[in-house]
Amino acid sequence: MRLAKTGTLQGMVKAPKAPVGTNLLGVEVYVPGSPYLAKTDAAGAYFLPNMPEGTFDLVAAKSGLGNAQVEGAVVKADSRTSAPDLVLAVAEPTISALEPSNGASGSVITIRGKHFGFETQEIVKVTFSGAPAARVERPDAGTLVATVPAGAQSGNVAVDVAGIASNQVPFQVVQDFAIEPAAPELAVGKDRLLTVKARDTANRPVASPAVLWSLLSGTNLSVTPGGLVTGKGTGVSKVACRIGAIERQVDVTVFRISAVATSPAQLSLFIPPASGAAGINFPASGTLKATVTASDRADRGVTWTSDDETIKVDQAGVVTLLSGAKPGTASISAASADDPAVTARAIVAVGSAKPLHLPAIRSKTTFASEIGFYGGAGTGVAVDAAGNLYVAHNVGSGSPFHDKPQGAKVSKITPGGQRSDFVPIGTLVGATDVAVDAAGNLFVAEGIGYLAPYWGNPQGNRVLKVTPSGQISTFITKVDNPTGLTFDRAGNLYVASWNDNAIYKYSPSGEPLGKFAGGFDAQPYDIATDANDNIYVAAAMGYTNDKLYSGKKIYKVTPAGASSVFYEAPGGEPVGLAFDAEGHLWATYYNAQKLARIAPDGSAVTFPIEAD
C-alpha cells in the first residue's frame, strides 16, 4: 500500500476594518467540502497539517467579523507552504433611520438598519452621545428598540455590535416643552389641534417633537394621540401631553355658541355729494358691533362679510362705501369665528348725501328772542326700529306770561314722510324729550324746560309711556320738570330733572332707583347713552337769582355715577345730544348755527349749518 504525500499549509487571517486590537482568536479556516479545518490564534495565524499535494480554495469565517476566501492555495509534499492572506470583510452595523429623531429621557426609539448581530446574537450596544441606552431590544435582524437614558444630551446615536461601531445619526434630546395654546377653547362639535413648543438640551428648538396626547379627566371632549381634540359637550377637561418622562397638562374649555347679534341692526351711510357742496356731508362709513352669546361668555369673535362688492366691511366691523356704491340696501353678515353656522345680519341703508339746510327763522315774539322759543318749537326727537321719527313739540302759540302752556304734542313721521299727531294737543302740559325702548314703546318727558321760571310748576312733571298702538299711561310721576330721557342696555331709564339739577334712574318697570348724578354747573337739558352705558349730560342753561345764564359743558357720568367734564363748548350752549354708530357724540347748540362732532377722547370738530 502506498501512502499519499502530504504537506502543511499555513497563513494569516486579517481584519483591517475591525477595531484596533480586535482579537482574531478562533477564526475558522477550512477547505470547502473537506474535513480540513483549523482555527486561528489571537494574532490570526493558522496551520492546516497533513494536507495532500495539490491546489485548494480556502475560506475563513467568524461571527461578527465576516468572512474571506482565496483560491489557488498550493500544498507541496513534505513542505510547509504559505497561502495568501485571508482578509475578512467585516460586516459593519449600519443605521438607516431613527424613529423618531427626537425624544426625552424615557422615550423609546426605534433604530432601523442592518448587521445588528441578530443571527449570531452578538453583544449589541446603543449610545446617545456616549451615554448607554437605558434598555436595548433586538426584535429582528433589522431593528433595535432603545430607551433614552436619564441625563442624555443632544448629539448622535450609535450602535456597537461585538465591538464594531456603526455610523452616527443626529438625535435631539428634549429638555422641556410647553403646550400651545396655553388655554385652549373650542365650540361643541368643532375640532382643534393642540401643539407643543419644545427645546433640547442645547436650548435649540425641536421641530416636530414626538409627543403622545391623552385625556386625563372630563367627558366633554375626545383627544387623539396626535393632539386633535373634538368638543362633545360644554365644560372643562384636562388633557396631558407626554414626551418620554416629561408630562405637561392643560385645561381645555368646550363652549356652545347660541347666538350672534349685531348693533345697530341698521346702519345708514351716504354717498358723498359733489365736491364743494356746503353743509354737512353725512358719513360714508360706520362701525358695526357684534355680540356672540356662548355658554361661557359673550366676547367671542366674528367674521364679517358683505353681500355687495361696493360696500366693504373689514374684520373690525368698519363698513365703508366704495366707488360705484348706489342707493339701496345691502346685507352685512357676522358669523361666529368658532361656529360659522351661527350668524347674524345687519342692514346697510345707502342714501345720497345732501347738505343739511335749515330755513331762516324770520319772525319771533319778544319772548322767543329772549330765550329762544317760538311757536311750535321741536325740543326732542327719537327713532324706533322701523325708522319712524317722533318729534316732541314743547309749546305752541301764546305768551308764557299769561295763561298756561298750550300746543304741546308729539308728532310721528314715517320713513315715507307721512306726518301725524301721535300724542295730540291737549294731552300734554309740555313735551321736552322723547325716547324709544327696545320694545318700541315711546316715552315722553312732560316738562316745560326753560319756561319753568315763568310758568312755575303746572300739572305734568311726569314721564308718559305710549305703546306702538298709541295707548298712553303714566310711567313715572313726580319728576320736577323732566327735560331729557335715555335708556341703558339693560333697559333702565334715566331722566334729567331741570329744576332739581339732577339725573334720576328708574328700572324697566318704572321703579325709582334713586338719584344717579347731579350738581352740574348748569341745569341738565338733554342726555344720551354711549355703547358702554356712560351717560352724557348737556348742562345748557342755569337759573339763579331770577336770571337765566348760559352753560357750556357736557358732562360724562360713568355707570357707577362718577361725573366729570367731557367737553366744554366754545361760544355755544349744547342742548341736543346723540351718538352715531362710530361712537361720536353729536351736539346741537342753542342759538348757534352749528353742530359739534365729539370723538370718544373729547376732541371735537364743529360743522356750520347752512341757513338762508
Task: Please give the Cα distance from 380 to 448 (Å, whole number).
Answer: 12
Angle at 571 between CA 567 and CA 575, to 5 degrees: 60
Interstrand relation of 343-352 and 266-271 (parallel, antiparallel or unpaired): parallel
Is residue 526 packed enough to be buried (19+ CB in 10 Å), middle (13-18) or exposed (0-12)? buried
Residue 240 C-alpha cell reads as: 396631558
Sign, CA torsion 572/577/580/583: positive
The DSSP output letter for 401 is T
The pLDDT value given to residue 353: 54
Nearest to residue 173, comparing CAs of 102, 222, 76, 111?
A: 102
Residue with cell 345764564: 549
User: The domain 6-87 is classified under which CATH number: 3.90.1530.10, 3.40.50.300, 2.60.40.10, 2.60.40.4130?
Assistant: 2.60.40.4130
Tell me what pLDDT residue 9 has.
Answer: 95
Residue 369's identity, in one-letter code, is S
pLDDT digits 0-9 by tens, 350-367: 876 544 433 333 333 332
Phi, psi of 350 (to 5 degrees): -105, 125
- Give, in order, the Cα–Cα distances in Å from 341 to each of 267, 334, 511: 23, 10, 40
Whether the Cβ atoms of residue 559 and residue 516 lie closer than 8 Å to each other: no
DSSP label at 469? T
Give the separation between CA 251 and CA 242, rounded to whole angstroms. Answer: 15
C-beta separation of 589 from 596 below 8 A: yes
Instruction: Supply the pLDDT for residue 395.
Output: 63
* Confidence at residue 378, expressed as pLDDT on a 0 to 100 scale: 55
Residue 479: name the closest of 436, 509, 450, 448 by CA.
Answer: 448
Distance, first Cα to last Cα, the chain: 154
Backbone angles phi, psi at 451, to 5 degrees: -80, -5
Write the pLDDT tens digit of every residue in 30-46.
Answer: 999 999 999 999 999 99
Residue 191 grid coordinates: 375640532
The CB-side HSE value for 414 (13 A sphere, CA atoms) comes to: 6
Predicted TM-score (pTM) of the model is 0.47
pLDDT of residue 431: 85
583 secondary structure, DSSP code: S
C-alpha of 335 from chain center = 14
Rounded CA separation 157/113 (Å): 13
| Upper half-sphere CA count for residue 340 (Cβ side, 13 Å) | 3
Enumerate the CATH 2.60.40.4130 domain ranges in the chain, comma separated.
6-87
Q: Would you say the C-alpha torsion 94, 99, 104, 108 has a positive or negative sign?
A: negative
- The CATH architecture assigned to 258-352 reads Sandwich (2.60)
- CA nearest neighbour of 41 among 33, 31, 29: 29
CB neighbours of 489 closer than 8 A, spacing ≥ 6?
Answer: 533
d(CA 116, CA 63): 12
Class of domain 357-611: mainly beta
What cell does 120 get? 449570531
d(CA 297, CA 365): 58
Q: Please give the sequence-ordered ranges of beta strands (E in DSSP) within 244-316, or none if there are none.
A: 246-255, 257-263, 266-271, 285-287, 289-294, 302-306, 311-313
Residues of the chain with pLDDT under 50: 1, 275-281, 354-377, 396-404, 452-457, 612
Instruction: Output the pLDDT for position 90.
Output: 74
CA separation (Å) from 115 to 93, 120, 269? 4, 10, 79
Give the three-class secondary structure for 233: coil
Whether residue 569 contacts residue 583, with contact meaning beta carbons closer than 8 Å, is answered with: no
CATH architecture under which domain 92-255 falls: Sandwich (2.60)
CB 385 within 8 A of CB 442: no
- Residue 228 to residues 193, 222, 225, 241, 264: CA-CA distances in angstroms? 4, 8, 8, 12, 38
Planar angle of CA 324, 328, 334, nearest 5 degrees: 90
Cβ neighbours for 368, distance < 8 A, ≥ 6 positions apart: 374
The pLDDT, as a whole number, for residue 226 is 93
The residues of the chain that CATH labels 2.130.10.10 are 357-611
CATH 2.60.40.10 in the chain: give the residue spans: 92-255, 258-352
Q: What is the pLDDT of residue 309?
A: 93
The predicted structure's pLDDT at residue 159 = 96
Smallest CA-to-CA distance from 389 within 369, 362, 418 is with: 418
Phi, psi of 368 (to 5 degrees): -65, -40
Task: Evaluate whether 173 touches 210 at the Cβ level (below 8 Å).
Answer: no
